[in-house]
Amino acid sequence: MKVIRAKDYADMSRKAAAVIAAQIIMKPDCVLGLATGSTPIGTYEDLVKQYEAGELDFSQVTSVNLDEYKGLSPENDQSYRYFMNDHLFNHVNIDKAKTNVPDGLEKDADKACADYDAIIASVHGIDLQLLGLGHNGHIGFNEPADSFSKGTNCVSLTKSTIDANKRFFASEADVPTQAYTMGCASIMGAKKILLVVSGRDKAGILKEVICGPVTPRVPASILQLHPDVTVIADEDALSEI
Ligand code: F6R
């Protein structure tokens, strides 16, 4: 793992955007694995600025997102499809037909997961996978478990994740309890992985991810086994290492 120390959130975002921009410049028809959550928002803002300045062209880029809440439509402003449109896709020249997010409206979980695995297979490999880190070490919505997940799976969200997400919903009762997520094996299949982490509240879990044992109890610890992982974390997130 290569760990890059950023001064603060803005610096982390600028550095992460630089890695993604370099990927698009070096391979304009690349496949980007994308994440939602609060951490990558600044990264997406930076990429939009680079696009607006004429420095980036997304026209040939394909994207596959990590996850989606089960039961939320693309029009629901808490869905991850909405998030991606709002923070990135609506502001750059990416072809929306080449942007992929699991289908939250598919009620048949087996079908939703098989369909998304087929999409991941059809793009012939993710060049760069962007990840955020959950407080319990989750990546995508792969929560602590007895074994690492493989392909796309339907997960029941833990209390900690529901608590972390409820700030975005009118009430806790509105927070979806299940989600579709790309599996750990699919994430590990990406050629390069970029993990962005910010804030003192992530310092303990980031230490476990980087320095602790590889265990499905800390799903992100599996990244230690990937040959090309860059962690960009701010000083607060690195304060326990
Ligand atoms: C979202 C995702 C999640 C988040 C994680 C951290 O697509 O994959 O694993 O990256 O929950 O979320 P934030 O960045 O809001 O702390």
Render pLDDT for 84-143 as a digit per residue (tens, 0 to 9): 999 999 999 999 999 999 999 999 999 999 999 999 999 999 999 999 999 999 999 999
3-state secondary structure of 208: helix
- CA 181/CA 52 separation, integer angstroms: 31
The pTM assigned to this predicted structure is 0.96
Mean pLDDT of 188-217: 98
Give the ligand 1 atom nearest the CA of 131.
10
For residue 126, CA distances in Å to 62, 76, 85, 189 come to: 9, 27, 20, 7
Give the ligand 1 atom nearest the CA of 202.
16
Q: Give the domain ranges of the chain.
A: 2-234
**Which amino acid residue places its CA nearest to atom 8 of ligand 1?**
140
pLDDT of residue 59: 98
Backbone φ, ψ for residue 97 (5° rounding)? -65, -20
CATH of 2-234, one of 3.30.1490.190, 3.40.50.300, 3.40.50.1360, 3.30.70.250: 3.40.50.1360
pLDDT tens readout for residues 39-58: 999 999 999 999 999 999 99
Beta bridge partners of 62: 31
Nearest Cα neighbor of 217 from 110, 130, 132, 134 is 134
Q: How many angstroms separate the alpha carbon of residue 21 from the centre of ligand 1?
A: 21
pLDDT of residue 227: 98
Beta bridge partners of 156: 178
C-alpha 99, offset from chain centre: 14
Q: How many angstroms separate the alpha carbon of residue 92 from the centre of ligand 1?
A: 22
pLDDT tens readout for residues 142-160: 999 999 999 999 999 888 7
